[in-house]
Chains A and B, each alone.
Chain A
Amino acid sequence: EIVLTQSPGTLSLSPGERATLSCRASQSVSSSYLAWYQQKPGQAPRLLIYGASSRATGIPDRFSGSGSGTDFTLTISRLEPEDFAVYYCQQYGSSSWTFGQGTKVEIK
């Protein structure tokens, strides 16, 4: 099973700042099968990025994904107040889905 490790665990930033979130896989992941989700308290996760770099419908262009192999990144170019949340990476492979443990982006 592929293990996804996200870092940092918590990111303390101010609105307007740039956020860079990392997701590292224990073995190579096809970029097609790497996704990112946003989850706010009391809400279900929402798909942000699929195929490592494609934005889901309705996702603002301040969100971008990149990476390949074992290292993937979610970047939020300028944090808006509504972006403070927990972010998860996820991969599909070998008949199972795995999630990273999450990165919390909090207001500094």
Chain B
Amino acid sequence: EVQLVESGGGLVQPGGSLRLSCAASGFTFSSYSMNWVRQAPGKGLEWVSYISSSSSTIYYADSVKGRFTISRDNAKNSLYLQMNSLRDEDTAVYYCARSRWFGELDPWGQGTLVTVSS
């Protein structure tokens, strides 16, 4: 079964840092591009970042550029999101999701909640 499991969320003060992880199983992780998508409480979905299978191509949403860093370790079947200089508006559930052929995202993990508050 294809599965993605996020971890690392929690409460952090504004200006702080947090590192999210996403553990993949049930598929050849090294063959797929991956994404992070977030959802603020009661709001819609917002794409955050993309990384290609070999890490050669990386994209960020303007809202996180310069503050967040996406990375992956294909040997560990893991995806990461390093989040620095966190702001109140970064409070959200963060999902990792696998990219398919034309940018559709499937499957998604269950999400991990990041709360930025003093």
Contacts and interface: CB of A to CB of B under 8 A. Distances in A.
Given A44-B111, A50-B100, A98 B47 contact: yes
B103 interface: yes
A53 interface: no
17 contacts: A35-B104, A44-B95, A44-B107, A44-B109, A44-B110, A44-B111, A45-B95, A47-B107, A50-B104, A90-B103, A90-B105, A92-B103, A92-B104, A97-B50, A99-B44, A99-B47, A102-B45
Interface of B: 35, 37, 44-47, 50, 59, 61, 95, 100, 102-111
Contacts, number: 67
The B contact surface, by secondary structure, is strand
Contact of A33 (B102, B109, B110): B102
A50 B46 contact: no
Interface in A84-99: 88, 90-93, 95-99
A50 B47 CA distance: 17
Contacts of A98: 47
Nearest to A91: B103
